[in-house]
Amino acid sequence: MENENKISPMTRLAGFAAPHKGGYIKSVILAVLGVACGLVPFFLFARVIIALIDGNTDISFYLKYCAVSAGFYILKRVFAALSTSASHAATFKVMSEVRHKIADKLTRVPMGFILESPSGKFQNSIVDRVEQIEVPLAHAVPEVTSNLLVPLGIIVYLFVLDWRMALASLVTLPFVMLSYSLMMKEYPKKYGEVVQAGKHMSGTIVEYINGIEVIKTFNQSASSYEKFSNAVKRNADIVLEWMESTLWYSASMMSLMPAVLIGVLPVGLLLFGNGLIELPVLITSLLLSLGIMAPLGAAVFLIEDISKVATIMNDLGWILDAPEMDRPENRVELPNLDIELDNLGFAYGQEMVLSGVNLSIAEGSVTALVGPSGSGKSTITKLIAGLWDPAEGAVRIGGTNLGDIPFDQASDLVSYVSQDNYLFNESIRENIRMARPEASDNDVEAVAIAAGCHDFIQGLEHGYDTIAGGSGGHLSGGERQRIAIARAMMKNAPIVILDEATSYTDPENEAVIQEAVGRMVAGKTLIVIAHRLSTITDADTIALVEGGRISASGTHNELLSESRQYARMWEAHTSVKDTTEEVTSDVQGV
């Protein structure tokens, strides 16, 4: 693994937005035109007022100016709509790229990183945090630019008309900026706390929903489930605290910003009364000064949204900056598919769970891993499947370190069927087809027949189009396993790993699955984790895993004579089997 260089949040966002800068440039230009059109009526109204003072009674003159003002108002709305459309089109593409980048990143990080992080935390980042990018990018970028550029041009024009009136129009601006700077002093920290509280609440809610069966069983309502209640209350308190910390400053800005006449009107009247300014200049300056502050106010509050982007992008950094499993891009030539575990070691956090594991697995052979729960069997298979990188030693396939084989190629080599197989909330057909997306419906059904699950699928309400439910929740554990085996058969990988593939299967269907597994692994390398030792007595090699090490390996008969621990396990297994058969016989007799 190697750590990516830390990238600043705004630099990262700029990288995502760069391919779509054309859309943003178009949006800014349209926004500038829109704001400019919105200010034109102020010039026109100045002319109208001057005409009224001069005694102009030509109705057509006033109608013409009103019509032109209405036209510019309509143009303002049209340009604003076009600008928003262009910026949203670009922004949704950026959001899509961010989510694709995160999804791609998750395929390259160790499984431990994913398993150690609550699913609600991922949901909060990928869905909620990315969604919050929309307002700053789609609105703030074009609107801040236009709402700053156009008033700046008006201010320059006011200085051309009369520098004293121009300065008077800006008299409230220092107080507005002071309020804004005080508000932003603690803003990043406070908003960061809001984000973290929301993330924690989302993770807790997901955990609450996933554990609702246990919560109901032990009569824990939402109000009495302390972790849930505390997370919700904490989130509400943090949001209120954040809003209260900005309320007075925000209110000050909203009060001061439109109060431009406090400076312009007395200064203008003083100058006019002393003959230092002409009436047309006074009226034009008064009206234009009123038009400056509205766009400037909008810009100030939108800048607040832009400041959120750094927090949002920084919050995504925990995924985007996570260490990756380093793999090459180019496929490698493998002379064979022999698997070699060389002094293999692995740790969960600081705890070593495997150490000094050595094992040779010949291509086309059957190898069984047996041992007590928690001894490290599943961890070994996950390392062979490339789901983690070892902390020590190496996994070699065909003499090549697995870390030197591209992700795609390594994935093509292995089909992994675990105890808890995940099915997506899609049709059963699509869950099977996931192993080979180009497969036809006939291919899917042929594999299902070979896997021995065609009949039960046909018996479902919608057959192959039945929705499996979230995590396959609409199916029984045995049915999920049979679908998972069909999916693995569809992949047709040369190395098959079965982690207790029949653990949820009732005795009636176990023979069907065993037969399906036999067809799937014919001529392939099979690595199987089994607790029922009677199912692996014919394996070419049985490896006994104890305390994170392989304490013995050999055939069934060799281990019976050479390993006291294996002999005890076999004796315990056969005695339990005999007891079970006696109980079954007694029940049937009754």
Report the pLDDT value the prediction gives residue 2, as an integer from 0 to 100.
41
> Rounded to whole angstroms, how far apart are CA atoms 497 and 308?
46
Domains in the chain (CATH in brackets) are 9-172+257-320 (1.20.1560.10), 339-564 (3.40.50.300)
Report the pLDDT value the prediction gives residue 547, as an integer from 0 to 100.
85
Say if CB 469 and CB 427 are below 8 A apart: no
Which of 186 and 526 is assigned the larger pLDDT? Answer: 526
Q: First vs last Cα of the chain: how many Å apart?
A: 62
> Rounded to whole angstroms, how far apart are CA atoms 181 and 175?
10
C-alpha distance from residue 202 to each of 128, 146, 196, 231, 235 (Å):
9, 37, 10, 9, 10
Assign 426 to helix, strand or coil. coil
Question: Strands across the sheet with 392-397, in order?
Answer: 351-361, 339-348, 392-397, 400-401
Exposure string of 351-377, with b = 16+ CB inside 10 Å and e = fewer, is: eebbbebebebebbbbbbbbbeeebbb
> What would the mean pLDDT of 323-333 be, rounded to a whole number?
83
Say yes or no to pLDDT of 502 above 70: no
> What would the mean pLDDT of 83-111 be, rounded to a whole number?
85
Report the pLDDT value the prediction gives residue 585, as an integer from 0 to 100.
41
pLDDT in tens, 109-161: 877 777 667 666 777 778 777 887 887 778 777 877 777 777 787 788 888 88
Report the pLDDT value the prediction gives residue 511, as an integer from 0 to 100.
62
Which of 1 and 127 is assigned the larger pLDDT? Answer: 127
Say yes or no to pLDDT of 331 above 70: yes
Q: What is the DSSP string of 273-296?
A: HTTSS-HHHHHHHHHHHHHHHHHH
Rg, Å, the chain Cα set: 35
Bridge partners (DSSP) of residue 495 are: 414, 525
Q: What is the DSSP string of 218-242?
A: TT--TTT-HHHHHHHHHHHHHHHHH
pLDDT in tens, 258-291: 667 677 788 888 888 888 888 888 888 887 777 7
Can you read off the two tokens belonging to residue 56? 């102009």
Say yes or no to pLDDT of 4 above 60: no
Report the pLDDT value the prediction gives residue 3, as an integer from 0 to 100.
44
Bridge partners (DSSP) of residue 544 are: 370, 552
149 burial level (CB within 10 Å; 0-12, 13-18, 19+): middle
When mean pLDDT is compared across 171-175, 188-192, 364-368, 420-424, the lowest value belongs to 188-192
At 102, the pLDDT band (50, 70, 90 cuts) reads confident
Say yes or no to pLDDT of 376 above 70: yes
pLDDT in tens, 527-559: 888 777 877 888 889 999 888 888 888 888 888
Percent of the chain with pLDDT over 70: 81
pLDDT in tens, 206-250: 667 666 655 555 555 555 466 777 777 787 877 777 777 777 777
